[in-house]
């Protein structure tokens, strides 16, 4: 999954732009309304647009896992470091200093499907 992080003043224009580019509606994510996104046509691949409270625009990668503890340990062994966790996911830093997220899958977090809860 790819996430485009956008400061609030640019958010609406950016969301409209990527809706146009992808041809997807990029619906709001009910559980996390700072995100809009969609699975891109014909691919097991999501694009999300995140409204940021602060910080510069950037792009980051999400890694999905059905075993969070094992995946965090695997990524640490590969050279990533833990930055912080939220209720639903972990933020890590890769060897070049780029942030990425590790997100539980299946992504009830994103679909708002309460059949899956990790909190």
Give me the residues that bind its own copies (CB under 8 A), please. Answer: 2, 4, 6-7, 10-11, 13-14, 16-18, 20-21, 42-45, 57-61, 63, 75, 78-80, 94-98
Compare residues 63 and 68 and give the one whose CB is closer to its own copies: 63
Min dist. Cβ of residue 8 to its own copies (A): 11
Compare residues 31 and 91 and give the one whose CB is closer to its own copies: 91
Which H or E element spans position 32? none
For the chain, what is the largest distance between any 2 Cα atoms, rounded to a whole number of angstroms?
A: 40
Compare residues 45 and 118 and give the one whose CB is closer to its own copies: 45
Min dist. Cβ of residue 13 to its own copies (A): 4
Give the whole-angstrom CA distance, residue 48 versus residue 69: 24
Which H or E element spans position 55? none
Min dist. Cβ of residue 94 to its own copies (A): 6
Asked if 112 and 71 touch (Cβ cutoff 8 Å), the reply is no
Per the structure block, which two tokens stand in for 29? 């994510």
Which H or E element spans position 85? strand 81-85
Compare residues 44 and 69 and give the one whose CB is closer to its own copies: 44
The distance from CA 67 to its chain's CA centroid, rounded to whole angstroms, is: 17
Min dist. Cβ of residue 31 to its own copies (A): 24
């Amino acid at each position: 999954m790819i996430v485009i992080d956008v400061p609030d003043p640019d958010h609406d224009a950016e969301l409209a732009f990527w809706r146009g580019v992808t041809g997807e509606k990029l619906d709001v994510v009910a559980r996390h309304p700072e995100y809009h996104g969609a699975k891109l046509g014909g691919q097991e691949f999501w694009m999300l647009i995140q409204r940021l409270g602060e910080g510069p625009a950037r792009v980051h990668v999400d890694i999905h896992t059905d075993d969070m503890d094992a995946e965090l340990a695997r990524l640490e062994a590969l050279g990533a470091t833990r930055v912080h966790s939220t209720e639903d996911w972990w933020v890590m830093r890769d060897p070049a200093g780029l942030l990425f997220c590790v997100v539980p899958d299946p992504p009830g977090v994103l679909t708002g499907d309460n059949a899956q809860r990790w909190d």
